[in-house]
Amino acid sequence: MTIEFFKMSGSGNDFILIDNRDHSVVVENLERLARTICERKVSVGADGLIIIENSDRADFRWRFFNADGSEVEMCGNGGRCAARFASIKGIAKEKMSFETVAGLIDAEVKGDTVKLRLTAPYHLRIDYPINIEDRKYEVSSINTGVPHVVHFVHDLDHYDVFHVGRAIRCHPHYRPQGTNANFVESLDRHTIGIRTYERGVEDETLACGTGAVASALISSSKGLIESPVEVRVKSGEVLKVYFERTEGGFENIYLEGKTKIVYQGFLWEEKS
């Protein structure tokens, strides 16, 4: 048996995408499949697996699995890749919506650039302390489809993202689900730099879409930036975040950036 797939990259996040609208991939095996084919050096390798399914509410439904096999609600860069994949495969037109656990996501594809409209964020908390190894860190947090913590730093390029990020990800304050950890440097009124330790990948990634949005919204809440925001990620690419401030928080939140088709292929039985 073989399974057709696309390998795509969204600003440095890489994903494996499979069209499963015909139910050819057995659902009960998706968690194991994600762990197997996302493992680098011995299989395709990726930050996550995206399964495209039929939907009664939108153009399609997706299921997103991290490299460790855990299924999560949303992924911004993965969502942008899924939208372009759907456009290429004729699943949806250039303007589309798709169903996620986090809610319905609107998207627009223009060539290799994809703009997503995200669901409303919640659980915004600004500037509170947590302790890591007897040291106090001031952090903020928000859920932009998945939970994110943001910590502002100086000299982002040399910051110990892996060590501190893992400690925040596993911190008792965020149990049982854990959190993603973002480290942000404010550069000017419309620009921030970001590095992210991602839950489920359990390492720093080259980009994180929902993390970019979370960092932009928290930066705005602290009065550091204004929309639109250019977010410089580890890969060297730039994501754009648009939003409107309201008395209750934020609305009309968009994430925009480039996507890349790396290759198309077939998975063989030997994948396992």
User: Residue type for 169, please?
Assistant: R
What is the β-pairing status of strands 48-53 and 13-19?
A: parallel
Are 77 and 10 spatial neighbours (Cβ–Cβ below 8 Å)? yes
Q: How far apart are CA 229 and CA 192, in angstroms?
A: 7
Query: Is the alpha carbon torsion for 67, 8, 242, 250 positive or negative?
Result: negative
DSSP labels for 149-177? EEEE-SSGGGS-HHHHHHHHHT-GGGTTT
Residues designated as active site:
75, 208
Q: How far apart are CA 192 and CA 230, in angstroms?
A: 6
